[in-house]
Amino acid sequence: MTTTGISRRALIGLTGAALAAAAAGPALATEAPAEAVFANGVTVLSSGPAFGYIAGWAKLLTPYLLDGLPRDVTSSFEAMGGPDGVTVCNAFGARMDPDGSTMMVTPGAAFLAWLEGDSRVKYDPSHWIPALIGTTRLVLVSTRPITEIVTRKRAVRLGAMNPIGPELAAMFALDLLGVPVAPVFGQGDTKTLVDGLRHGRIDVALLSGPKIRDALAAARAVGAAPLFILASATSCDGPATRDPLLPGIPTFLEAADALRRPLPDDARFGAYEAATIAASTCFAAVLPDLVRPGTVASWRRGAQLAADNLSLAAVATQQELRFQTGDCAAHLMQRMTGSAGAVAALRATLLHRFGWHAS
């Protein structure tokens, strides 16, 4: 998939249809495909549960997404599977008509499962076109200074829920700094992570998700300070740009530079970027890559309307989420899924460095 979100295979398949539509006249070339796709209504498909967090966002976004489509298009909503998104993504890839009449909203956990080679995964998100991505912040905190962490002899204990959680991003960041990592599993939510820091069961913790500033305040209360924010992979403003919500926290690239730890420009760094983008993805609204450009444009118009809406912006601000649309969303998806070398490096590192075998 290119950064425009249209794959080479899609473009080749569209050539004949585009020529035929152009020969039939301008109106038919630009309007008929979208009208035909939407004639029988559209479906917004979400990971479950039906009243869960991701489904809630899907329901909030739907009216604005529909505003980008032709007038009076009917819609239906369906939530499927569990909160990790694997079930709904499998269904989206295998059962849904790839004409653009179905928009799927899935959590970042589904991308992490694919990156790690989870045996349940039957989908390939490199064949998806993003309309909108909701991203969260990732901040690594510790009760120890970063200089001590990178020079100590024994492995750093990282709090983690399981080997396929968002902590994967922190594992790869520390690995790039040359820091050996020993994950301590069963530490998933902010309260457990903070408690682990307080009692010395873990050395570092990755704080993520909505309400990140509340989580940071809880960590500071037990003597933990931010080491760096894993923002370089999820920013479309430049690799070393600090997060405007957390301007006092250095980026991972800044921290590596201050420590004089040069980062490799190879598949290992691509693996870090892919893991970080997946871990920071709260949800992604996507289409299959065989969808006509005009249909993609309609959904993306709705996604931009959602991102620009003041009411939705207020909810996103309260949750401390950011909406990524257009070229930025396509760019993030490309960096997360577009490099076979990065995916291979990620899985090899998991196997050889951390002994993790996909289920």
Could you give all domains of the chain from N- to C-terminal order, each with its CATH number? 8-134+281-338 (3.40.190.150), 138-277 (3.40.190.10)
For 228, the token pair is 């760096």
Helices marked H in the chain = 8-24, 26-38, 53-67, 86-94, 108-116, 146-151, 167-176, 190-198, 212-221, 252-258, 267-280, 293-308, 310-319, 326-337, 340-354
Closest CA to 271 of 161, 172, 140, 156: 172
Q: 98, 109, 32, 35: which is closest to 72 by C-alpha?
A: 35
Tokens of 294: 């005009």
Q: How far apart are CA 200 and CA 32, in angstroms?
A: 63
Angle at 240 between CA 131 and CA 205, to 5 degrees: 85
Give Cα 274 distance to the centre of its chain. Answer: 9
- For 305, residues 6+ apart whose C-beta sits below 8 A from its C-beta are 64, 65, 67, 68
Q: What is the pLDDT along the chain (359 residues), one digit of tens a residue?
A: 333 333 333 333 333 333 233 333 333 333 445 567 888 899 999 999 999 999 999 999 999 999 999 989 999 999 999 999 999 999 998 877 789 999 999 999 999 999 999 999 999 999 999 999 999 999 999 999 999 999 988 899 999 887 678 999 999 999 999 999 999 988 878 999 999 999 999 999 999 888 899 999 999 999 999 999 996 556 676 656 788 889 999 999 999 999 999 998 899 999 999 999 999 999 999 999 989 999 999 999 999 999 999 999 999 999 999 999 999 999 999 999 989 999 999 999 888 877 776 65
How far apart are alpha carbons 58 and 285 in whole angstroms? 8
